[in-house]
Amino acid sequence: VNQLEIRNLHARIVDGETILNGVNLVLPKGQVHAIMGPNGAGKSTLGKIIAGDPSYEITKGDILMDGESILEMEADERARKGLFLAFQYPVEVPGVSNANFLRLALQAKKGGEVNLTEFYSKLQKALETLEWDESILTRYLNDGFSGGEKKRNEIMHMMVLEPTYAIMDETDSGLDIDALKVVAKGVNAMRGPNFGALLITHYQRLLNYIVPDMVHVMIDGRIVTSGGPELAMKLEEQGYEWVKELAVSN
């Protein structure tokens, strides 16, 4: 089974409030799905739980990657298995250049030495797609990066690490339209039979440039409705009120 499956997932803050109330979602490898929903719906919490954030506990359900439960795996093991979490990136790594950090991350993922020629050719290709200058490689990771540079850099790392499944939370926030287009170009370049992505977003804007195979709407910690890209358009036009009513009547 080539898919990332979230199966009846219930979760709460450790010793605290319940946030997820039975999330069901299947992301087949080769597809891009969007999760939309109003503020506070639990979208970011879902992303963090997939990443293995220890501040939440799963009370019921499972998360399976290609048929294997990842719940007992540490975050780095999940990454080795091919999961990439854009938002989980280190805030700043002083003293480590961007390229070196990425090389070490790739080495950790592969569990062995990285072929440097291959590595640099992947880097070049990613920079070209992202319309970016090489000077970004020698800067310390995220040190003094603008918000847009950080987002673009996350996408560059994703392109080089070639994950099987990527989760991106609010990748569009704080980007101007040109940066948004470039980020979308990177994600679209990754699309193919060996790559699946979950785009978590509050707004429809990003989905004009990365057209998803499916859109899921989360309200109060559950997916209440799913559909094609037209669902995102409807949300943009009509807001979330009608889905909230759907959530209550379900």
Closest among 148, 150, 203 to 37, alpha carbons compared = 203
Instruction: Give which of Mg ion, ligand ADP, none residue 55 binds (C-beta under 5 to 8 Å, depending on kind).
Output: ligand ADP
CB of 58 to ligand ADP, least distance (A): 14
d(C-alpha 79, C-alpha 97), whole Å: 21
CB of 160 to Mg ion, least distance (A): 26
| 18 sits near ligand ADP (criterion: CB under 6 A) | no
Among 29, 33, 43, 78, binds ligand ADP (CB under 6 A): 43
Using DSSP's 3-state secondary structure scheme, residue 143 falls into: coil
| 45 sits near ligand ADP (criterion: CB under 6 A) | yes
* Contacting residues toward Mg ion, per CB under 5 A: 39, 43-44
| 204 sits near ligand ADP (criterion: CB under 6 A) | no
Measured at the CA of 216, the angle between CA 212 and CA 219, to 5 degrees, comes to: 150
Among residues 42 and 82, whose Cβ is nearest to ligand ADP? Answer: 42
d(C-alpha 218, C-alpha 79), whole Å: 25
Among residues 140 and 203, whose Cβ is nearest to ligand ADP? Answer: 203
| 41 sits near ligand ADP (criterion: CB under 6 A) | yes
Q: Find all residues with CB under 8 Å of 64, minimum gap 6, and list them.
A: 1, 3, 4, 5, 7, 70
| 222 sits near ligand ADP (criterion: CB under 6 A) | no
Whether the CB-CB separation of 137 and 169 falls below 8 Å is answered with no
Which range in 43-51, 98-106, 107-115, 129-137 contacts ligand ADP by CB under 6 A?
A: 43-51
d(C-alpha 20, C-alpha 59), whole Å: 9
Strands (E), the chain: 3-13, 18-28, 32-36, 56-65, 68-69, 83-85, 93-97, 140-141, 165-169, 196-200, 214-219, 222-227
CB of 133 to ligand ADP, least distance (A): 33
| 52 sits near ligand ADP (criterion: CB under 6 A) | no
| 39 sits near ligand ADP (criterion: CB under 6 A) | yes
| 13 sits near ligand ADP (criterion: CB under 6 A) | yes
| 35 sits near ligand ADP (criterion: CB under 6 A) | no
Among residues 55 and 121, whose Cβ is nearest to ligand ADP? Answer: 55
CB of 181 to ligand ADP, least distance (A): 24
Among 18, 55, 69, 107, binds ligand ADP (CB under 6 A): 55
Q: Are strands 18-28 and 32-36 parallel, antiparallel or unpaired?
A: unpaired
Whether the CB-CB separation of 66 and 232 falls below 8 Å is answered with no
Residues contributing to the site for ligand ADP (CB under 6 A)? 13, 19, 37, 39-45, 55
